[in-house]
Structure 1
Amino acid sequence: MTDHDTSESTDDADHKIGATFRRLRQDRGMSLRELADMSGVSVGMISQIERDLANPSMRVLTALRRALNIPMQSMFNDDPAEGADNPPFVRRAARRPHIDLGPLQKELLTSGGNHNLQIMILTIAPGGTSGQTALSYPAEKGGLVLEGELTLSVDNCDARLAEGDSFVFDSALSHGFRNDSDRPARILWVIGAVQFDRHL
């Protein structure tokens, strides 16, 4: 359960997240120190992530994304122009962008553009987790176990989920997940934006 596991990408659509974060940070004119101060992630860790020497945990990924004020879609380096021959509400299977986070792979299903609803497939390797520290931010999450098993923890309550099991929870509650099995788990993962006044 680390913030810096590494893994090779095996698909042309896969990409390490470092170059994307560096570009987004530089586009905003932010130094490493400024991003570190805003995100609570150390300068050293951000530098390693940007050079693809470390893979961020879900907690670190979320902290950096929120500090940069970018939607989830931006992390996938998705180019809407590449799908211009399709209706804007469609994502073709062959054009799904991927993110390689070592023991965790993210595959974007949501069509191009910014949306309040994000749909992904997470593939979690045996022993893979969401990170050492629990996640918590205003949104709603739900999903379906497509293959394998997943242990989901929400508000200090653990549930072991098997193929076909589904879930929905308020992600303002502390939460995380891990794959305790000996085979990969594939999860349909849905994140819906929540009005901030629900959490005031």
Structure 2
Amino acid sequence: MTLADLAAASGISIGTLSQIERELVSPTVRTLFTLGEALGVSAAWLLDPESDEKKADPYVVTADRRQPFLRSEGLKKDLISPASSDRLRGFYMLLEPGYGSGEAPYAHNGEEIGLVMCGVLELEIEGETWILREGDCFAFPSDLPHRFANIGATQCAVFWINADI
């Protein structure tokens, strides 16, 4: 597949794809999901196609075996679901103040559910915004345009699950 083909399939410009390929910019969460869908692979595979995830214990993920899923400035997202979980992807996400998924909402297949463990999370779904604090939960279809950000003064931790349905 050429960059032009991928640009056409994903709606992401050739220039942006080229910058990502040359590691001049880091893709946003939205971009990773969009590219994954266009290529028919998971966003996790895009970050580490040689991952030993399937070689790990099929039922348990210990704290020292968490798989880094996404690392960008102000955002750390670890895959915490074991290899046997094909349709559920659990994430432990840490957001620094002022950081999140980006300005533009994104959508993908599946459903999502989450729990804010600490901090303040702004969650926007289809243009409606909620302010969630420690102990607050959310759930929504992933194909609704959504975005999130830490709008608090301290780090925000979220337990987030994506389900492929």
* Structure-2-length-normalised TM-score: 0.88
Q: Does 1:138 align with 2:86?
A: no
Please list the CA deviations of residues 106-156 of structure 1 after superposition, one character each: whole Å capped at 9, or x if unmatched. 101011266111000111121112122212233110101112110111122
Shift of 1:48: 1.6
Q: Does 1:44 align with 2:15?
A: yes
Q: Secondary structure at the match of 1:60?
A: helix
* Structure-1-length-normalised TM-score: 0.74
Could you tell me which of 52, 58, 62 is aligned with 1:92?
Answer: 62
- The answer to whether the 8 A contact 1:146-1:163 is kept is yes
Count of matched residue pairs: 162
Could you tell me which of 65, 76, 79 is aligned with 1:105?
Answer: 76
Separation in 1 of the partners of 2:8 and 2:40? 14
Q: Secondary structure at the match of 2:30?
A: helix
Q: Secondary structure at the match of 1:49?
A: helix
Q: Secondary structure at the match of 1:63?
A: helix
- The answer to whether the 8 A contact 2:97-2:151 is kept is yes
Separation in 2 of the partners of 1:82 and 1:138? 26
Partner of 1:61: 32
Please list the CA deviations of residues 54-97 of structure 1 after superposition, one character each: whole Å capped at 9, or x if unmatched. 111222111111111102442452213652xx3x1222211112
Could you tell me which of 70, 95, 99 is aligned with 1:124?
Answer: 95
What is the percentage of aligned positions where both structures have the same residue?
33
Partner of 2:53: 80
Post-superposition, which runs of at least 4 consecutive aligned residues in structure 1 deviate over 3 A? none
Could you tell me which of 133, 136, 142 is aligned with 1:165?
Answer: 136
Q: Secondary structure at the match of 1:187?
A: strand
Aligned CA RMSD, in angstroms, stands at: 1.8
Separation in 2 of the partners of 1:188 and 1:45? 30
Q: Secondary structure at the match of 1:167?
A: strand
Runs of 5+ unmatched residues, structure 2:
none
Please list the CA deviations of residues 15-67 of structure 1 after superposition, one character each: whole Å capped at 9, or x if unmatched. xxxxxxxxxxxxxxx22222112111112211222222211122211111111
Separation in 2 of the partners of 1:53 and 1:114? 33
**Greater strand share, structure number:** 2
